Amino acid sequence: MNTDTIAAIATAVSNAGISIIRISGNDAFSIIDKIYRVKSELEFLKQRQFLSNDADDQQDQYLTGRKKISECESHTIHYGYIVDKDAIIDEVMVLLMRGPRSYTKEDVVEVHCHGGIIVTKKILEVILKYGARIAEPGEFTKRAFLNGRIDLSQAEAVIDIINAKNEYALKNSVNQLKGNILEKVKEIRDNIIYDLAFIESALDDPEHISLDNFSEDLYLHVQNNLEVLDKLLKSAHNGRLLKEGIKTVILGKPNAGKSSLLNILVGSERAIVTDIAGTTRDTLEETIQLGNISLNIIDTAGIRKTDDYVEKIGVERAKSSALDADLIIYVVDASTELDENDNEIINLIQDRKSIVLLNKSDLTNVINSDYIKELTGKDVISVSAKENIGIDILEQWVSDMFFQGKLSFNDEVYITSIRQKKAIEDGIQSLIMVKQSIEDGMPEDFYSIDMMHAYEVLGSIVGEAVDEDLVNTIFREFCMGK
């Protein structure tokens, strides 16, 4: 493990009210001692002309006798200046956090300075000059993990919080950061290791510990563990939607109002809208917030038979996008009759999560919602993209469809990591093999191998027995300073 002292700018590098430079490691306090001064010290040194270039020895002699900031109590904040020998760089607040009561469990110093780009970088340069090195992306959180402050699932939750696209994703990531996944996994692993220990003890001391009828109890234990893991695995789909957003494709004939709908959802004239059929020739993608839900929405070319080569490519891309969609919004022009193009779209949305928007409800309708619902077998909402009518109903419908309208974060855990999902799948497979071995009447020492494998793969979720390459890969996704 690295023991050197690291530093980085922890806030966005831009003009702002304040910036924060974070230092962590054994030398964090000694570094701040060298560059931090209180106002009274600066005035005294100026009066004695100790800040001149030829008075370094006198300055060091004076500073040796003063109370250093490193001698102050932990978790206190101090007002003063950052200096580099004879130069005052900025007026700052300095926060001290002595390990292990810090984010990294190391000595941590935070310098809160003015938010200018130049001054922030200058302070970082001085910190590096006096003994720190620049931190790698995610290295502060990596040290928190390596020093045992958080487990790997909590570390992954940190970057999910930073990248959260909606309130649901944020709340789920906060729950993971609080250790909800750790608790679930730890409970299952404790159950497995208890049964393993019992088997090993019985095999080592059969005169005092009997395995009679134990396989029946173990079968129930394994079944209970499988039910918990299966619930976690099923949550991975919703977890992906929370984290990445719902991939939503808008389908319809030309001039049905697809682009108008996109513009309403985005809140700007993102797509060109004209009365000319076939205006949209290619897919157009936007990420939008629909209430607390993120939609990665794709507007597509109107689906119709055409001899136009470019438009034909757009139609094929529309159909291809629909095949990968989490949700299809089929926009129907209620003021015109259905035709063979609509029939093609209706066949395309069968057996897929879809909703029909009966658009242009502000005009005289020749199609009613009951008819289109019977024809498609999908829910139908009457809307007017032009008048912004019915969009709130669409928002509630999407929430109900994907989260049953009752998404709760009090004790729910949603798996959002592909890595975690794979580990759960491997754990489930191993426990299924244990059940099969019990049903086949295999000896206890045989199926203990699969139990140990389940224990180990589930441990990888929280960071036990993971290799260094995996750890480095995970933290490489973090931003600088975190």
> So what's the pLDDT on residue 273?
40
In whole angstroms, give the CA distance from residue 55 to residue 205: 78
What pLDDT score was predicted for residue 270? Answer: 45
Nearest to 256 by CA among 197, 194, 339, 195: 339
Give residue-wise pLDDT tens across range 413-440: 778 788 889 999 999 999 999 999 999 8
CA angle 262, 263, 268 (to 5 degrees): 145
Q: What are the boundaries of each domain within the chain?
A: 6-135, 156-240+417-476, 251-285+306-403
- 156-240+417-476: CATH topology is Four Helix Bundle (Hemerythrin (Met), subunit A) (1.20.120)
> Quick one: pLDDT at residue 154?
86
Q: What is the reported pLDDT for 30?
A: 95
Q: Which CATH class is domain 251-285+306-403?
A: alpha beta
Which token pair is 351? Answer: 């057996």
CA distances from 101 to 46, 378, 463 (A): 37, 56, 21
The CATH number of the domain covering residues in 6-135: 3.30.1360.120
pLDDT of residue 409: 46
Interatomic CA distance for residues 260 and 299, integer angstroms? 10
Digit-coded pLDDT (tens) for 326-368? 888 888 888 888 888 888 888 888 888 888 888 877 676 778 8
Return the SS3 of 376.
Answer: helix
Q: How far apart are CA 46 and CA 290, in angstroms?
A: 60
Instruction: Report how far residue 55's alpha carbon sits from residue 86's, in angstroms, rounded to the nearest whole number.
Output: 9
Q: What is the mean pLDDT of each run of 10 residues along the chain (482 residues)?
A: 85 89 96 89 59 53 66 93 89 95 95 93 96 92 90 84 74 78 90 88 78 86 93 80 80 78 64 41 66 76 66 74 84 84 85 84 76 86 76 77 54 77 94 92 83 92 76 75 75
